Amino acid sequence: MKFKSYKYLKSLQSRMKKLIIKLSVLLIVIVLSACKNNNSKAKENDSSILETPYLGQKPPGLTPIPFAPGLVSTGLYEVNSAFTPDMKAFYFIRRGEEYKKSAFYEYKYNEINGEWEKSEIASPWIGRPVIAPNGQTMHLGDSYLKRTEAGWSELQKLAAPIVSNDSMYIMRLSSSANGTYYFDTYKENDPAFPIRYSRLIDGKHEEAIALPKAINTGTFLSHPFIAPDESYLLFDAKREDGFGDSDIYISFKQNDGTWGNAINLGDKINTNAWEASASITPNGKYLFFSRNVGSDKYENVDIFWVDAKIVYDLKTK
């Protein structure tokens, strides 16, 4: 009997050990599941943590919609957006209430944790960002930043002949893949400033030349964006064929190298409000631009995006 009792006790102990192991595994699963749910809720409530791509946003169709509502497009003034060529960093400018504060923001994709993280680069903002096709330069009007191993360099100024001393300054400068600059030349109290270009020859930029009347017609000719291959130029202006305030136009390079007459992007993009600062993402898929959705005081301007097909179709027409 003692032998049987001993065997029974050993068997009971073995079953108890197995039961404890199973309960421990179940408890671990429950804890991990709870942590996962809590992390998911935290991500939903934390606007600085996003999923890729496009900051976790559902891509638009052929009707423009605000980009990243509540994160990028808010009740304030947001303009001049730009992605890096690898689509892993996004930049934009936001001005605070009554222009009391303005700042330059970055959303950067963290490859380690797979999340987008927001940071403020500069306050006040230092220019309208346009990133060169090779990703090595961020143009900021008449200034620029260079890519380094540690990130972006200190702010640097463009030299002559691009920057002159006659009270003109550049709001937005865009460069093609071969280094040609396209830029506006804003002069206070002068609405007729033209858009100019400057080719890179033997490592130096030539004297800027005004683009033809096919583009430089109207007033407030601003915010040019050149395609990397210089096949088209986006810009905004006030023209007689417009829908009200400033509209966005596109001019396509012709087979003979001349610029075609600028085409209004139409009533899906342009309204009687102010539309400006258009660009196409480096992957060629989406058109980004800014639109005034507030009063004439421009206290609320949002960044919109739309399928770039709406632009490319204009060339075939």
Taking only the tens place, the pLDDT of each residue in 140-167 is 999 999 999 999 999 999 988 887 666 6
Percentage of residues in the chain having pLDDT higher than 90: 66
Whether 302 contacts 73, CB under 8 Å: yes
Same domain as 38, residue 59: no
Per-residue pLDDT reduced to its tens digit, 114-124:
889 999 988 77
Closest Cα to residue 184, out of 130, 154, 221, 147?
Answer: 221
Whether 130 contacts 174, CB under 8 Å: yes
Distance CA(100)–CA(169), nearest Å, equals 22
Whether 304 contacts 277, CB under 8 Å: no
| Mean pLDDT score of the chain | 85
Same domain as 278, residue 254: yes
Distance CA(120)–CA(103), nearest Å, equals 7
Same domain as 66, residue 80: yes
Whether 131 contacts 85, CB under 8 Å: yes
Is the per-residue pLDDT at 98 higher than 70? no
Band (42; pLDDT cuts 50, 70, 90):
very low
Per-residue pLDDT reduced to its tens digit, 209-233:
999 999 999 999 999 999 999 999 9
Q: Please report, for the domain that includes residue 189, its CATH number.
A: 2.120.10
Same domain as 258, residue 188: yes
Per-residue pLDDT reduced to its tens digit, 231-241:
999 999 999 99
Distance CA(24)–CA(101), nearest Å, equals 55
Same domain as 55, residue 41: no
Residue 138 vs residues 123, 147, 234: alpha-carbon distances, Å: 17, 8, 18
**Range with lowest mean pLDDT among 17-21, 126-130, 214-218, 290-294:** 17-21
* Residue bearing the bigger pLDDT, 251 or 164: 251
* Residue bearing the bigger pLDDT, 269 or 167: 269
Same domain as 146, residue 103: yes
Same domain as 174, residue 145: yes
Same domain as 55, residue 39: no
Number of domains in the chain: 2
Phi-psi region of 247 (alpha: psi -120 to 50; beta: other; left: phi over 0): beta
pLDDT at site 165: 60
Distance CA(241)–CA(171), nearest Å, equals 24
Which residue's structure tokens are 């730009």?
Answer: 82
* Residue bearing the bigger pLDDT, 22 or 173: 173
Band (9; pLDDT cuts 50, 70, 90):
very low
Same domain as 155, residue 273: yes
Same domain as 28, residue 62: no
Same domain as 169, residue 287: yes
Same domain as 238, residue 94: yes
Residue 81 vs residues 17, 29, 92, 104: alpha-carbon distances, Å: 61, 44, 4, 10
Whether 68 contacts 57, CB under 8 Å: yes
Q: What domain range includes position 32?
A: 1-45
Pairing of β 181-184 and β 232-238:
unpaired
Average the pLDDT over 238-264 and give the result.
Answer: 96
Band (298; pLDDT cuts 50, 70, 90):
confident
pLDDT at site 28: 47
Distance CA(176)–CA(199), nearest Å, equals 10
Band (31; pLDDT cuts 50, 70, 90):
very low
